[in-house]
Amino acid sequence: MAVPSLRRDKPGVAASLKAEFSRSDGRGSQLLSELLDNVLNPKRPVAEAEGLEWCKCLMAGGERFEDFCQTVRAYDHATLCGLVWTANFVAYRCRTCGISPCMSLCAECFNAGEHTGHDFNMFRSQAGGACDCGDSSVMRDSGFCKRHRSTSGSSIPSVPSDLMMMSEHILPRVIFRLVQHLRDGYSESVSDPATERDIQRTLQQMEPLVSLLEDLTKMGGAMRSILTRVLGNHQIYKDLSSGDFCTGEKTYAKKNYDKYLTALKGSGLVSSEERSASSVLDHMAGASNVTILGATAGAGQRESSDEEEQDGSQGIGKRKRVKFCNGTKDPSIVDILKHKCFLEEILFWTVKYEFPQKMVTFLLNMLPDQDYKIAFTKTFVQHYAFIMKTLIKSHESDTMSNRIVHISVQLFSNEELARQVTEECQLLEIMVTVLLYMMENCLVKSELQDEENNFHVVVNCGEPLLKNNTYWPLVSDFINILSHQSVAKRFLEDQGLLQMWMNFVSLFQGMNLNKRELNEHVEFESQTYYAAFAAELEACAQPMWALLTHCKIKDMEEYTRTVVRYCLDALQDWFDAINFIDEPSPNQVTFHLPLHRYYAMFLSKAVRCQQLDLDSLLPDQEMLMKLMVHPLQIQACLSEIHSNMWVRNGLQIKGQAMTYVQSHFCNSMIDPDIFLLQVCASRLDPDYFVSSVFERFKVVDLLTMASQHQDGAPDPEHEKSMLEGALTFLVLLLSLRIHLGMTDDEILRAEMVAQLCMSDRTHSTLLDLIPENPNPKSGIIPGSYYFENMLSAVADFKAPVFEPGGSMQQGMYTPKADVWNIEFDPIMVILRTVYRRDVQSAMDRYMGFLKQTGKFDGNPWPPYRERALLNPSYKGLMRILHCKTLHIVLFTLLYKISMDHQNMSEHILCMVLNLIELGLDNLPEESVEEEEMLGEEHCSDSWFNGTNIATNLHHIINHVRVRVPETAPEMIREPLASTSSDTTCVQRSRRATALNRESSNTAQVFSLVAERRRKFQEIINRNGSSTIHTPDVRAKTSKWTAPNSTPQLTTTILEVRESMLSLLIKLHHKLSGKQNSYYPCWLEDSESTSRLDPMQQIHGDGTTAVERILIKTAAQSRQNKFSIEEICRKVTPPIPPKKNVSDKKALDKEERRQKARERQQKLLAEFASRQKSFMETAMDIESPDSDVAMDIGSSEKQDSETVYDCVICGQSGPSTEERPTGLVVLLQASSVLGHRRRSTEPKKLPTSDEEKIYPEDTCGTAHDVRITDLQRYFKDSSCLQSVSIGWEGGVYVQTCGHTLHIDCHKSYMESLRNDQVLQSFSVDKGEFTCPLCRQFANSVLPCYPEKNEEKCLWLPCNNKTLHVLIKEVEEQQEQLGMFPVSISSVTNLSKEMESVMKDIRSTTQKKYIDYGKIPGSPDNDFLFMYSVARLNLELELVHRGGNLCLGGAGATTKRSCLNQLLHVLAIHMRLFRIDSAYNPWARLTRLTQVVDSGICDDEKPDVPLLYRDVPSLLMILALTMPQELHKEHFTCIVKVLYNLLYAQAIATFSFRFNEEEREVWKNSAKLQIMDNSEKSSEVLLSHIISELSKGNLYCASNTDQKSMITTTIWSPQSLEYSIQQFCLPFFRTAGLLQHHLFSDDLPCCQQTEEEFGMLARYLRLLPTSLNSNDEVKSFFCLDWPLPALDIVSQWCLEVTTSTESHSKQVMNLLVQDPQWSLPRLLRLPENYNTIFQYYHRKACVHCSKVPKDPALCLVCGTFVCLKGQCCKQQSYCECVLHSQNCGAGTGIFLLINASVIIVIRGHRFCVWGSVYLDAHGEEDRDLRRGKPLYLCNERYKVLEQQWVTHTFDHINKRWGPHYNGL
C-alpha cells in the first residue's frame, strides 16, 4: 500500500487503515505514521481545517465523526459533572450540602438536585470554576443531581478495544503537534508589544486544535482515559519530543527542541526556590538550621561571621537579623522542571503563555478522570514556584490570578489529594518559600522605635505586589490546604516550617508605620493603609485561623505549645531587632502586630479549648511588659485619633482607626490586642499597669488635685477627651469577656445586640456587621441555623412597608424590649463602633425605650451590666481594681469633679463610678475586715492603707501635697503645714519621702510616671536580669513635660478632708441639684432589705448610679455603712455654695433655652407636616381630601369672582386679562392609555421561548390601524375629525393645585436660571419645582377670568324643545367664524394661552401630532387639541378606577386643572372654522340629499357617520361652541350623539350574529315596526340589518370572520346588556366633561349595573316622566329629532354606497369596541429566578448577542441591551430609544442582572428600587447575596400606580441625567 495521498477520500483511507491495524503486523502503524507526518507536518499551519478533518476522520475509523462521538459517549461512566465555566458564569453554592466552602454547582445540576429549604445562594463566578456535582469529597451525596447520583458504573459495558484504537495512535501526534507549535511560537521579553502580538497570534492559530481536544474531553470517561494515558506516558513523550522519531525532519525537530530548552533556561526562575527546596531537604535530613532565600534566619549560632558587619556597638537586641540577597545565578531550574511527559510540558507552556483561557479550560475538563487529576495536581505543584514567579512578572496579574485559582481550587479542595502532594511533593515548603520569596522583593527597613538602630525589615505597602494584592492566589491556596486537618498537622509538626512561617509573619510586624504630624499638615495622604490591612488579614490572619481550627482538641495541645513558643521567639527577635527596651516612641503607631496576635490567639485557644495552664505558656515579667506596650499604644492612639490629635495626618488615619475596629477585621485585630492586654494586666503588677495606661494616654498631668496644672503635651481640649478615652479603655478592659469566658453563643448574642441597639438593621447588614467567627467548628456561620435562631431570640422583624409617597422600607430587625431592658451593653457598643455618633444613637434609642415603657423619664446613664463569669485563669485581671494607683486616680477625679475643675465631664464621672462599681462587684478573696486590721504604718504615703476598694472608699484623706503654678487659686489660701521648697522635680526624689514622714497625714504628690518606673525597676530587679540598663528616667519623661512652660510650679498642701464616700454623696447632691438629696435608704425603714438589691436599679441617671454604689458599699461592711450614715448626718454645706446657685441659674437658663427650642421644633414640625400633606394629597389618588382651601376654581364658584393666591408674592386676587394668574402644571407625554388591552387580566411576562406578547391587541395599535384604514378610503380632513389620537404620546396635564402670577413665575424662572448648578432639573427646558410644595413642574396654565353672570347662563332651563335647541346649537356653530375671540386682541392673557399651547404641543414628539397626509395642516392641530381634552378626561377616568360608580365622593381629582385646560383648548379650537358643508352637526340632525358620489373624482368621500368615533365628535362639538356654553346646549349635543352611538352599537352587534340569527332578528321585529315603537332596540336592529344587507356587507364578513361568531345565542337581555356596555364609555366621558364644564357634582351608585342609569340621568337623557326607581333601558335615552328609521337609513346608505372600495375593512371600521381595560404592567412571576434564568442569557433580537446588561420593559416586555454600544442608534442607546417609542419618553425597565427597576422619564432617570425581596424583606441589588427573591406585590402595585397616575416625577427622588446612554 502506497503512502496515501492527502487528497484521497478520508473515510475510505481511515477505514482501510483501521483494518490494517487489526492485522497487527505493524504495517498499519507505519502507514498511519507516514500519513500523519504529512497531515501534521509542522510546516503546515497548525490547526489547519484539512488537517483537523483528517484527524477526526482517522479517529472515527471511517465512520462519521458525530456518530463516533455518540458511540464513545455511551461508554461514559463518569459520575462527576465537572462542567468547567469561566468568569461571569452564574453558579450555585449550597452551604447545607457543601463540605468544602469552595463547593459550587452548575445551574443544571443545582436545579436537578434537591435543595429546597437549604441555605444556598446564586453567585456570579469571578475566577471561573467547575461543577462539583458527584464529587463526594467536596459535597454531600444528598445534594447530587439525579444524573450524577447513580454511582453504579457497572451497568455501562467496558469499552471495546477497537473503538478507541485509532485515537490511541493518533492523539500522541496531535498533542505533539500542539507542543511543537507552542515551542515555535514563544519568545521572551513579553513587555515588547510586537512580541505580545506574536504571542497572541500563536494562541489564536492553535485555537481550533485546542477546541478539538476540548471536544474530546466532553466525549466522556472513555476518551478522557485515553487522553490521560497519552498525556502522562513517559515513553511516548521521550520518543516524540526528543526528535528522533522521523528522520526527514531531523533539523526541524532539533531546532524545535532547542527552542524549548531555551525557554526553560530563559524562564529565569530565580535560584531561591531551588535553594530553598534543597534546604528543605537538608532540614529533613536533620540539619538544624533552615536557610531561606539565601538568608540566615535560624537561631543564633550560624551568623557569627555576619555579626561583625552589623553595628556591633549595641550589645542587646541584635541576636540575629535577616539579611537578604537576591541570588539569580542558580541554573538548576532545568533539573527541577525536567519534563517527563506531555502533561508537564503542556502545563509549562500554559504558564509561559500566562494561562490562556482555552488551555485552562481543556486542562480542567480532564479533571473528572481520577488518574489525570492526581498526575495533574503533581505537575501543578512541580511548577508551583514557577507559576508564582510568572505571576509576579505578569503585567496582567489580575486575569492570571483568577485563572490560577480557577485551577488550584479544583485541586487543593480535595483533602486526600492535598495531603498526598504535601507529603510527596513538599507542597507546604514550596508555598511558604514562595511566599517569602515574593515578599523579599518589597522590603524596607523598619523605622519603628529607634530609627538608626533598627534592624527589622518590613514589607513596603506601597509596592505593587501589596497594593494590587498579587500574592492573593498563593495565600488563597495556602489557606485552602491548611483547612485540611491532615495538612495542617503536617505543618504544625514541622518546626522548620513553623520557623519559616514566623519569619514570614514578622515581615508584616510593624508595617505601614504612622508618625504623628505635629506641625504641618501632611502633604499627601498615603493610601497604603488599605494594602497593609488587607495583607495582614489575608496573609497573616487567615492562615492563623485555618491553623487554629485544628487546635481545638486536647490531642493537639503539643502543637499549640510549639506555636506559642515560636511566637514568643519571633517576638523576642522582633523586640531585639527594633532595639526596644521599655518605652515606645511617642507619636508613632502601627496597627499591624501580627506576631502579637498569633501569640494571643493561640493562648486563648490553649486555655479555652485545651485547658492548658496559662502560666506555663507565658513568658517572664519583662517580656510581658514589652508585650503590652504596642497593643496599648494602639489603644491610646485610637483615643488620640478620636480626640483629633492626628488631624494633620489627614483623613487616612481615621480610616485606619475605623478599619481596625471594623467587623471584618476586629476578630483578627482589636480583639486579640485587647485580649493580650488583659492577659498582661492579669499577670503584671496592677500599679505598674494602671500607671502605664494613664501615661500612654498622656493624661498624667491632668490627674492632680490642683485646679491648674502645668500644660502638658496635649492641649486642654484634647486632655479631657484623652482622659475619657483612658477611663473608657480601663472599663472596657475589665468588662470584656470575649476571650475570657464567654461561649460562642454568648458572643454572637452580644454582637447582635450591640449592632441592633445602634440602629435597626436589615438582615444582610446585620450579617455583614457581625464579625464572622472564623472558627468554623463553632457552627456560628452567618446565615446558619444558629444565627437565625439567635436573631429571632433578640430581635423582632418589621416587615417591609411602603409609606405612601415616601420611601420604600426594607424588612428590618429591631431589638426586643427585653434586650433593651436587660442586655443593652454600651461597652460592647463602644468596642464595635466605627463612628462615635453610633454610640450616641444607641443611647438615644435606649432613652426612647425607657421613656416609652415608663421606666425612666430623664436622660439616662449607660446601664451597668453584670458580666459573664471570668475564666479562673484570668482572675488576676481584677487586681487592677484593687490597687492604690487606681484608687488615687479615682479619688482625685471625684474630688476634681466635685470642685468643678475644668476639663471634667459627665462621661468621666460615669466611667469613674463604673470602675468603683466594678471593684465592689469583684472584691478580692481576702475579706474587708482583714484589711481594716492593717495599721496606718502600711500607708507609706498617707494615701491609702490597703488595696481593697471597699476599705479605701471610706478612708479620709485630710491633706494632699500638690504642685501648682504660683498663680493657682490654691496659692492664695495660706498653706497649712509645709514649707517645703521642693520645687525642682516632681516627688520622685527621696526627699519627698522624707518630707512625707514629717507630716504623716498629708498625702503625697502622686506621680504616675514615677510609680510606673519604680515598679518597672522592681520587676526587672526581681527578675535579676541585670543586662537591662536602667532607663534614663529623666530623659524619657522630658518628652512629656514641656521644659519651658511658663508658670513656676510650687508645692503646696491642700486641705481636703474627704473620703471617696463623702465625695460620692456630695456628687449625688450635685447631680440631683438638691442639697442633702441623699439619704441612706436602709435608715428609712427597717425591712428595706429587699430594696438593697442593687440590680433593681439599672435604668437611671447619675444619682441612680451613686445610690447603687452606696448600697453596695454599705453591704460590704459595717464600717462603710457607718461612714455613710455619718456623712449624711452632717449637713454638709454645699461646696462652693455660689456654684450651686450658678448651677441653678444655668439650669433655669438651660430650661428656658430648652423650652424655646421645643417651641421652635414644634413650629418646624408643623410646617413640615403641612408640606408633607401637600405632597401626599397631590400624589395619593385614593385618599379623600377635605382641604377646601386647596380646591381651585370649581368650589369657589359661589363667590362673585374666583380669587387665587400667588405662591411667590403671596398676594391674592382674580386672574385678569392684564395680570393673569396660572396653575403650576406638569406637562408630560404619555402612552399609558395606548397600552390598555381588552382582557382585564394583565399579560404575563414571557419566561420561555414559547410565550410571546403580541402588541396587536393594545389600544394604541388598534387606533393606529383604524386611522390608517380610514385615511385610505376617505377624505383626510374628514378622517382627522373621526377619531382621537394621543393614545400614544398624548399630553397629560397635571397640577399640584398651586397658583402664581405669571409674571412672578417669570422672575422666579430667571432666578432659578442663575443658580442652575444646584438644580437636578433643567431650567432651560422650562422645568422648575413649585415654590410651595416643591413638586416638579414645567409650565403654567393660565386661569380664565370668570364672571359671576356666566353661572346664571349655566343654569338649566328645560322649556325649549329639542328642535329649538338643535337650531340654536347650529346657529352658534355658524357664528363661529365671526365670533370675536379675545385672542385677536392681544392681551397678556391671550399671549399666555398661546404660549401654554405651544408648550403642550412641544411636550410630545412630532410623530404623535402629525397624522394628516399634509404635515402641519390645521386639521392636525385641531385633531391634536381635542384629543388632548379627550385624553385628559380618559386618564382621569382611569385614575377613578375605570368607572364613575363612586361618582364625586371617591374621586379626589381635586388637583384637576381640566376646567382651565378645556378653556384654553376651546379658545384655540374656535380659531378653526369647520366648513359648514362638512359640519357633522347638520348630518346628525337633518335629512340631506344623498350626495352624488361623483362630484369630484380625485376627492375621496367623507367618513360615514357610522364609522365615526362618537366621543371625538362630542369633544369637537362641545369645544367649538362659544365660550359661555349653555348647559341645555351641551345636553342637546349629548342627546344627538347618543342616537348615533346607539345606531353604531346595533350595527356592531348585527355583525356578531351568525346568518340564521340575523335572519331571525330581522324578521322578528317587523311586527313591532307596525306599532311604530321605533325606539325599541329590536326594531332598530331589524331595520339596520335590512339596510346594511343591501350593501352585501354581511356576506363579506361572514366568510372572513368565522371566528367572530359566538357560540352563545343572543337574547333580548344580552343584547340590552351589550348595548349598555357599548355606550358606557361615552357616558363616562360625557359625564366627566359635564362635571368639569359646569362644576356639578357627580352622582354615585352602589353597584356597577346601576352606572348606566345613573349617568343617563346625570346627562339628562332620560325623559322626565321616568320614575327614579324604574329600571333603565338603553333605548329610553333615545330622542330622535327626526323619524328614526329615516335618518338611520341615511347613515346606513353612507356606508353601503362606499363599501365597494373597502369591503375588507368594513368589519374593522363598522364594528367598534370602545371598551378597554385599565392599563396594567406585565404580570411578573413569583420567583425572580424564573426571570433571571430565562433572560440573563437571552440574546437581543437586534444584535443577536447576549447583552452585558440586559433589561426588560415592564410595559410591553421588550428585551433591550442596556448601555450597549451594539444596539445604539444615532447616539441613543437601546433603552432610551425604547422608552421613547414605547412610553413617549417614559420607560420602566427591570435590570435583569441587578433585580432593580429603573425609570426613565425624558432626559432623566432614576433607580426606582426592586419589586423582588428576599425572605427577610430585603432587596438584593446586583444579586450580590444571590438568595432567592420573591415578588412583593405591594411594591409592584405601587410601581404600577405611579406609572398610571404619572407621578414618577413627584414621588421618586434622586433623578439624574442619562445622556441617552442607557
- How many Å separate Cα 1356 from the centre of its chain? 63
**In the complex, minimum distance from the CB of residue 1816 to Zn ion, in angstroms, rounded to a whole number:** 20
> Computed over its alpha carbons, how large is the radius of gyration of the chain?
46
In this structure, the number of other CB atoms found within 10 A of the CB of residue 1634 comes to 21
Place of cell 479631657: 720
**In the complex, minimum distance from the CB of residue 1177 to Zn ion, in angstroms, rounded to a whole number:** 11
In this structure, the number of other CB atoms found within 10 A of the CB of residue 1394 comes to 16
Please, is 1607 exposed, middle or buried when counting C-beta atoms within 10 Å of its C-beta (0-12, 13-18, 19+)?
exposed
Contacts 24+ apart (CB under 8 A), 1156-1164: none
Task: Return the exposure string of 1217-1235: e unless at least 16 CB atoms fall within 10 Å of the residue's CB, then b.
Answer: eeebbbbbbbbbbbbbbbb
Residue 405 in grid coordinates: 485559582
**In the complex, minimum distance from the CB of residue 664 to Zn ion, in angstroms, rounded to a whole number:** 27
Taking the least distance from each CB to Zn ion, the nearer of 1221 and 1852 is 1221
- Write the CA distances from 1492 to 1481, 1489, 1497, 1501, 1693, integer angstroms: 20, 9, 11, 10, 12
**In the complex, minimum distance from the CB of residue 1766 to Zn ion, in angstroms, rounded to a whole number:** 3
Taking the least distance from each CB to Zn ion, the nearer of 1208 and 1596 is 1208
Q: Are 500 and 277 in contact (CB under 8 A)?
A: no
Taking the least distance from each CB to Zn ion, the nearer of 148 and 1470 is 148
CA distance 1279 to 1277: 5
**In the complex, minimum distance from the CB of residue 281 to Zn ion, in angstroms, rounded to a whole number:** 42
Taking the least distance from each CB to Zn ion, the nearer of 141 and 1559 is 141
CA distance 689 to 1168: 55
**In the complex, minimum distance from the CB of residue 138 to Zn ion, in angstroms, rounded to a whole number:** 12
Give the number of residues written for the chain. Answer: 1862
**In the complex, minimum distance from the CB of residue 1207 to Zn ion, in angstroms, rounded to a whole number:** 7
Taking the least distance from each CB to Zn ion, the nearer of 110 and 186 is 110
**In the complex, minimum distance from the CB of residue 1747 to Zn ion, in angstroms, rounded to a whole number:** 5
Taking the least distance from each CB to Zn ion, the nearer of 839 and 1743 is 1743
Taking the least distance from each CB to Zn ion, the nearer of 97 and 1425 is 97
Q: Are 1055 and 958 in contact (CB under 8 A)?
A: yes
**In the complex, minimum distance from the CB of residue 83 to Zn ion, in angstroms, rounded to a whole number:** 5
Give me the residues that bind Zn ion (CB under 5 A), please: 81, 83, 94, 96-97, 106, 109, 115, 118, 131, 133, 143, 145, 148, 1206, 1208-1209, 1296, 1298, 1301, 1304, 1330, 1332-1333, 1335, 1740, 1742-1743, 1753, 1755-1756, 1758, 1761, 1764, 1766-1767, 1774, 1782
**In the complex, minimum distance from the CB of residue 623 to Zn ion, in angstroms, rounded to a whole number:** 50
Taking the least distance from each CB to Zn ion, the nearer of 142 and 1648 is 142
CA distance 566 to 319: 15
Taking the least distance from each CB to Zn ion, the nearer of 450 and 1303 is 1303
Taking the least distance from each CB to Zn ion, the nearer of 1340 and 1369 is 1340
Report the half-sphere exposure of 1259 (CA within 13 A, side-chain side).
Answer: 27
Inter-axis angle of helices 1418-1439 and 1612-1638, to 10 degrees?
Answer: 100
**In the complex, minimum distance from the CB of residue 1778 to Zn ion, in angstroms, rounded to a whole number:** 6
**In the complex, minimum distance from the CB of residue 124 to Zn ion, in angstroms, rounded to a whole number:** 17
Task: Return the exposure string of 1749-1767: e unless at least 16 CB atoms fall within 10 Å of the residue's CB, then b.
Answer: ebbbbbbbbbbbbbbbeeb
What three-state secondary structure class fits 296? strand
Taking the least distance from each CB to Zn ion, the nearer of 118 and 642 is 118
Q: Are 1227 and 1403 in contact (CB under 8 A)?
A: yes
**In the complex, minimum distance from the CB of residue 1255 to Zn ion, in angstroms, rounded to a whole number:** 9
Please, is 245 exposed, middle or buried when counting C-beta atoms within 10 Å of its C-beta (0-12, 13-18, 19+)?
middle
**In the complex, minimum distance from the CB of residue 1796 to Zn ion, in angstroms, rounded to a whole number:** 17
Taking the least distance from each CB to Zn ion, the nearer of 588 and 1729 is 1729
**In the complex, minimum distance from the CB of residue 715 to Zn ion, in angstroms, rounded to a whole number:** 52
1487: Cβ contacts below 8 Å, ≥ 6 apart: 1682, 1686, 1687, 1690
Taking the least distance from each CB to Zn ion, the nearer of 175 and 1223 is 1223
Taking the least distance from each CB to Zn ion, the nearer of 1263 and 1298 is 1298
Residue 1133 in grid coordinates: 454645706
CA distance 571 to 291: 20
For the chain, how long is the longest CA-to-CA vector?
A: 142
**In the complex, minimum distance from the CB of residue 1260 to Zn ion, in angstroms, rounded to a whole number:** 11
**In the complex, minimum distance from the CB of residue 1827 to Zn ion, in angstroms, rounded to a whole number:** 14
Taking the least distance from each CB to Zn ion, the nearer of 96 and 1443 is 96
Q: Are 58 and 170 in contact (CB under 8 A)?
A: yes
Residue 474 in grid coordinates: 498563593
CA distance 332 to 338: 10
In this structure, are strands 514-515 and 1204-1205 parallel, antiparallel, or unpaired?
Answer: unpaired
622: Cβ contacts below 8 Å, ≥ 6 apart: 1019, 1020, 1023, 1025, 1028
Please, is 677 exposed, middle or buried when counting C-beta atoms within 10 Å of its C-beta (0-12, 13-18, 19+)?
buried
Check the CA dihedral 1205-1211-1214-1220 and report its sign.
negative
- Write the CA distances from 191 to 195, 199, 202, 881, 1306, integer angstroms: 8, 11, 16, 65, 63
Taking the least distance from each CB to Zn ion, the nearer of 682 and 1202 is 1202
Taking the least distance from each CB to Zn ion, the nearer of 1081 and 1743 is 1743
Taking the least distance from each CB to Zn ion, the nearer of 1333 and 1513 is 1333
Task: Give the closest residue to 240 by CA, choosing from 538, 499, 33.
Answer: 33
**In the complex, minimum distance from the CB of residue 215 to Zn ion, in angstroms, rounded to a whole number:** 18
Please, is 1130 exposed, middle or buried when counting C-beta atoms within 10 Å of its C-beta (0-12, 13-18, 19+)?
exposed
